[in-house]
Chain A
Amino acid sequence: MENRLDYCEGGVNMILAVCGKGGVGKTTVSAIAAQALAEKNGLRALVVDADPAGGLGMALGLTPRRTLNDVRKEIIEEVKEGKRDKRDLSVSLDYLIAEALTERGNMAFLSIGRPEDEGCYCKVNVILKDTIEGLAGRFDATVIDAEAGIEQVNRKVISSVDYMLLVSDTSAKAVRVVETIKDVADRMIGNEGAGLVVNRVRDRAEIEGIQSGTALDVIGWVPEDDTIRRFDGEEKSFLELPDCPARAAIRGALVRAGLL
């Protein structure tokens, strides 16, 4: 598979969305994908934690000073104070988002944050959609750790994705969820490709069972890995993750998908 970073329109601006059921290890996969991209010289990576439950910032050892939800609240305050000029608000949004980016080397991290109530999820998702569309074009690669489930795909919050990295564990339920996500994505948003990474696999028999039961392209499987468990438990940054079976497997999947 030729490298998607090379063939994406203009040779840059690849957008990778990491999707799956909650608890399958999307954030771990996102963090290792981010680590792999950050190590590519000359490449600028945007990493977005689009999951209100959060976690990617901690996985990367990055603590955002502000989130997209904070930006949303500040824009609302501006409007309440009578500042309603669209151009001024748009320019303010650009400024506040730049402030919300946490940078480490060639990587910039943005977190959606946790809205206070149900209604706010929709509103912050609207800003997230516009932000991704505006900001991703300025980076060579964007990794989006999506909210668990199909909601953000269904609502086109994540749209025009170049590649969907579908993450599942070995449970039938988790595989069915990513199949649904792929199905919704094919109907609702553009994507150039999708591949399944199966996490926490005990043995080859498990993966063969999954491969035979799904039409999804299985591009990799990740074994249970004590290093990952330790890094998680000790809240260490995955940017410092040494070579280990899980890291090798995820990187291998990214290579097979043409993303590295």
Chain B
Amino acid sequence: MALFDEQLGEVRRVLESMSAGGAARQFAAGARELWDKGSTLVLQEDTALEMGNPSVASLSLLLWSEDGGVEDGRITLVGPDVGEALKSGSLPFAQVVIVDGTFESEYDSYRDIRDAVYDTRLAGLSIRTMPSKRTLWCRVGRDAADKGLSLIDLGAALIDSVKRLEEVGSAEVVFVTSSAEDVRRLTSPAASAQRLVDAMMKMYQEQNFDCETCEYQDVCDTVMDLKKIRSKLTDSQD
């Protein structure tokens, strides 16, 4: 069992139900050349499309598995792509990055993968993330939209970034732009994954194992991998 197995299962079930209606499309990351990297500030007047604006539904989620269950290089899109939504001007947006590999040091691995996601920047696309709220706010610039920037490009760049890490063997990305309701269906696994990450971060950063007073006692007591992390850290203190 890996740290996020429960959340991954929930995400897969949600995606299956979305796919059942024929709403999901799948693409291969390797099919296109990687989009140019760049850090762009896109002002409102230059924006062709906004995704995950603070006033609409938005979600960013990172999960991993250790059982080889990730379809390497797959990009799943539920809802319209950039070029198909330009008239709307604004879309709800969820981005789920799922990696598979061997993560012996969970804390270090999580931070490395998270940083790789944060550091994925494409020319003509402005991306901002609010980790505590698990939201992601993107603006596609007009030039980039005219040149055909697509969520497949973003997915391919994310997969390329995370796979550069030694511990990552495979990676896939899911984007949901169909509706705010569909994005919100991922809120529950995202929130529970966040609690696991927060518990893990607290253990590693504070090195305080007074479980009686800890707000994460419930997750630590029930999630096997967190128990293992706690044991590993307390053993190293002895």
Contacts and interface: CB of A to CB of B under 8 A. Distances in A.
A99 interface: yes
A138 B45 contact: no
> Is chain A's binding surface mostly helix, strand, loop or mixed?
mixed
Given A82-B202, A87-B111, A95 B41 contact: no
A98 interface: yes
A225 interface: no
Contacts of B201: 85
Nearest to B40: A138
Nearest to A98: B128
Contact of B130 (A96, A108, A139): A96
A83 B197 CA distance: 11
Contacts of B205: 84-85
Given A82-B198, A88-B132, A106-B45, A95 B118 contact: no
Interface residues of A, number: 22
Nearest to A103: B44
A108 B129 CA distance: 20
Contacts of A84: 205
5 contacts: A82-B202, A83-B198, A88-B132, A95-B130, A103-B43
A180 B137 CA distance: 44
Pick the most buried of A78, A88, A94, A106: most chain B CB atoms within 10 A of its CB. A88
A83 B45 CA distance: 34
Contacts of A85: 111, 131, 201, 205
Contacts of B202: 82
A92 interface: yes
A149 to B, nearest CB: 31
B198 to A, nearest CB: 7
A105 interface: yes
B198 A91 contact: no
Given A87-B115, A91-B118, A108 B131 contact: no
B184 interface: no
Contacts of B111: 85, 87
Contacts of A99: 54
B114 interface: yes
Contact of A83 (B41, B132, B215): B132
Top 7 nearest A-B pairs (CB, nearest first) are A138-B41, A95-B128, A88-B131, A95-B130, A103-B44, A98-B128, A91-B129
Contacts of B45: 103, 105-106
Interface string B98-126: 00000000000001001100100000000
Given A44-B41, A78-B132, A94-B128, 15 more contacts: A82-B202, A83-B132, A83-B198, A85-B201, A87-B114, A87-B118, A88-B114, A91-B129, A91-B131, A92-B129, A92-B130, A92-B132, A95-B130, A103-B43, A105-B45
A81 B44 contact: no
Contacts of B137: 95, 98
Contacts of A139: 41
Contact of B129 (A81, A95, A105): A95
Nearest to B205: A84
A139 B114 CA distance: 28
A95 B215 CA distance: 27
A82 B204 CA distance: 13
Given A44-B43, A105-B45, A138-B41, A81 B132 contact: yes
A71 to B, nearest CB: 12
A81 B130 CA distance: 15
